[in-house]
Chains A and B, each alone.
Chain A
Amino acid sequence: GEDVEQSLFLSVREGDSSVINCTYTDSSSTYLYWYKQEPGAGLQLLTYIFSNMDMKQDQRLTVLLNKKDKHLSLRIADTQTGDSAIYFCAEYTNAGKSTFGDGTTLTVKP
């Protein structure tokens, strides 16, 4: 069945790069998303990538997709304390199904 896996915790120092990894199993994924959940808030879309792309860059964010290994990563350059949040990876398939990972809690230390 479909499954999206991500590590639960990541801790980095301010100014370093953060890399959050995600693996998925459904090869019919059409879109892959990264969402951010800040304390007390709902999810906000950070970025997404079409399944026929292998990289997308958006300011400090870089998404890399390895379709062969079904591996998605989100790199945040120059991580700031305001980046501390939970980051969710999600896939959306041709069948109109969406599966979310359990989220990675990113802690940025000053």
Chain B
Amino acid sequence: KAGVTQTPRYLIKTRGQQVTLSCSPISGHRSVSWYQQTPGQGLQFLFEYFSETQRNKGNFPGRFSGRQFSNSRSEMNVSTLELGDSALYLCASSSGTVESRAFFGQGTRLTVV
């Protein structure tokens, strides 16, 4: 199965804290996309990074940010956590070309209390 690695798998934070999630894409993939998934809502697109640059951005507040390193690993940061940020955060990697297929990691389950 696809080798996208997300860490940590589970996380519990309190309101007002900040959190950083990590995603290591499949070797050779330069595109990393982040999604938030909640029951009944499906995936909501956060942003996509390609070659260390944010290429696409969804409709989330500025508390959600990300970055990508030269080895294509990506981090997502959420500041001033709110209860509504509790969700499964998924990252997907692809080669970044028009025809490329996305491969998903197992996600990080964030619970905000």
Contact = CB atoms under 8 A, between A and B. Distances in A.
Given A42-B102, A43-B102, 19 more contacts: A31-B39, A31-B40, A35-B42, A37-B102, A42-B35, A42-B45, A43-B45, A45-B43, A48-B42, A86-B101, A86-B102, A92-B37, A92-B39, A92-B88, A97-B109, A98-B106, A100-B104, A102-B101, A102-B103
Interface string A72-110: 000000000000001010001000111110110100000
B109 A42 contact: no
B40 A48 contact: yes
Interface string A40-73: 1011010010000000000000000000000000
B106 A97 contact: yes
Contacts of B97: 40
Majority DSSP secondary structure for residues of A touching B: strand
Given A98-B37, A98-B90, A103 B42 contact: no
Contacts of B90: 98
Given A42-B33, A96-B88, A30 B101 contact: no
Interface string B17-46: 000000000000000010101011011010
A102 B2 contact: yes
Contacts, number: 56
Interface residues of B, number: 25
Interface of A: 3, 30-31, 33, 35, 37, 39-40, 42-43, 45, 48, 86, 88, 92, 96-100, 102-103, 105
Interface in B82-113: 88, 90, 92, 97-99, 101-104, 106-107, 109
B75 interface: no
Nearest to A39: B98
25 contacts: A3-B1, A30-B39, A35-B43, A37-B102, A39-B99, A40-B98, A42-B33, A42-B48, A42-B56, A42-B102, A43-B43, A43-B45, A43-B92, A43-B102, A45-B43, A48-B40, A86-B101, A92-B39, A92-B88, A98-B37, A98-B88, A102-B101, A102-B103, A103-B101, A103-B102
